[in-house]
A = this chain, B = another copy of it.
């Protein structure tokens, strides 16, 4: 009884292991860190003690002792789109807090929609000065292979926002984009009372996240909302100006549009067109990502709902995952799940 209480209150340390196993601290450490130069029998003795005592390593003390510093790299597309900007801002803002926790974050911007740029950069990474990489990029064969090569150097990699499943990345930090598209469709179907055509504004064929959203959107509209018809999607390349210029023709082709699902970036062009147009109104518009612009559009009623993902959460999660992978320690799965946020004008954060 007394014993049990003590074990609950005080957790075993390396000293306890050493005592129980009858070896020195140094040997315990060697076993703990899988370092060579210990006889199999000795390893076994120590391992037994560890199991028996239910030892859990104190990571904070370990990091203190080895004066460890984590160097993480964030590879982002070099566009001026608001979502990427929000991500960058988060990384920079969190740098201060993370610095205290012994982790340094660096942002590397590579040309957007350009697999080769990412590949070259990834290949130049050295395991001596980088402890982990977070990549937000397109899932092309070359990128996939480059990611594999990074991992082969022993450097953990997480995919950010847009998954790279075929690359064998350690983790994906972002939302299920098929579900995000489905969610948008459900809102569109419920909000659009009169029937008609719906347009999907997408970004690039190379971006896996955009494709998945479109796919999810189509499925739900087809299944549940026969009063709506999704027309051929338009590729806006996340470019506000391009989008702005395309809009008149779109409305000429589909004068009876009842809704737009803006599934990528470049919303500024859409908002500008809508604010200038006198004919277009009563459209249900669902867009992605909470940014200053989209927030404003939602508040004014230009947008009806936003599908979003929390950039602060994404960055924190990437760091925690990279750290856990680097230290080969477990992580809390529920905490790392990025939610598909729905914003209406009434639940906007302060």
Which residues of chain A have a CB within 8 Å of any CB of chain B?
11, 56, 58-61, 63-64, 94, 97, 99-100, 179-180, 182-183, 185-187, 190-191, 193, 216, 220, 310, 312, 316, 332, 334-335, 337, 339-347, 349-350
Tell me the smallest distance from the CB of A35 to a CB of chain B, in Å.
23
Give which listed residue, B100, B185, B349, contacts A346 with CB less than 8 A: B185
State whether A346 touches B220 (Cβ < 8 A): yes
State whether A97 touches B332 (Cβ < 8 A): yes
Tell me the smallest distance from the CB of A178 to a CB of chain B, in Å.
9
A to B CB contacts below 8 Å, 30 in the list: A56-B100, A58-B100, A59-B100, A60-B61, A60-B64, A64-B64, A94-B332, A97-B332, A179-B346, A179-B347, A180-B347, A182-B346, A183-B344, A183-B346, A183-B347, A186-B346, A187-B344, A190-B190, A193-B193, A216-B346, A310-B339, A312-B334, A316-B335, A337-B350, A339-B341, A339-B347, A341-B341, A342-B343, A342-B344, A342-B347
Q: For the complex, what is the distance from the CA of A105 to the CA of B290, rounded to whole Å?
A: 35
Give which listed residue, B59, B186, B316, B347, contacts A344 with CB less than 8 A: B186
Q: For the complex, what is the distance from the CA of A11 to the CA of B67, rounded to whole Å?
A: 11
Residues of B within 8 A of A182 (CB): 346-347
By secondary structure, the A interface counts as helix
Q: For the complex, what is the distance from the CA of A343 to the CA of B191, rounded to whole Å?
A: 15
Given contacts A56-B100, A99-B11, contact A340 B332 (CB under 8 A): no
